[in-house]
Amino acid sequence: MEEVDTTQAEVTTSPPPAGGRWVRHPSPKEYVRIAVILAMVTAAEVAIYYIEAARDLLIPLLFLFAFIKFALVVLWFMHLRFDSRTYARFFVLGLAGAITLYIAVLLMFRTFAT
């Protein structure tokens, strides 16, 4: 990890090697930090599955945890937080299409009806 900090100091003050450019990405330390958070959220997901007292809140909590994990992977590991917004637009378009399809089919099959 230390050698990365050294690299960071070098790269931010020097021109890039020929045939390339510098782009901003998370550091390896930050990748490890995100992975630890992901592991903790997954552990929390599994834990609340077994907690009887949390039954009423189980589904909202599971969706919240899944959303947090999804966002962390997409924003940091897939670099959408750092890359061009064009990539994000394409991905969000696909995601919006999938969510629309999901809701439309569930409504059609009256899945929400009691």
Partner 1 sequence: MQEQAAIHVFESEHEATSTGLPNVKLAMWLFLASDVLLFGALITSYVVYRGRSVVGPYPNDVFDIPFTSVSSFVLLASSLTMVLALASVQRGDLPRMRLWLLATALLGLAFVGGQVYEFTTFYEEGLTLTTNVFGTTFYVLTGFHGTHVAIGILMLLSLFSLSFGGRITQRNSMTVEIVGLYWHFVDIVWIVIFTVVYLIPTGP
Taking the complex as a whole, the smallest distance from the CB of residue 73 to partner 1 amounts, in Å, to: 5
Q: Find out whether 28 and 4 touch, Cβ atoms under 8 Å.
A: yes
Report the interface residues with partner 1, using CB under 8 A.
4, 7-8, 11-12, 16-17, 19-28, 30-32, 34-35, 38-39, 42, 45-46, 49, 58-59, 62-63, 65-66, 69-70, 73-74, 77-79, 81-82, 84, 86-87, 90-91, 93-95, 97-99, 101-102, 105-106, 109, 111
Classify residue 26 as exposed, middle or buried by CB count within 10 Å of its CB (0-12, 13-18, 19+). Answer: middle
Taking the complex as a whole, the smallest distance from the CB of residue 41 to partner 1 amounts, in Å, to: 9
Classify residue 64 as exposed, middle or buried by CB count within 10 Å of its CB (0-12, 13-18, 19+). Answer: middle
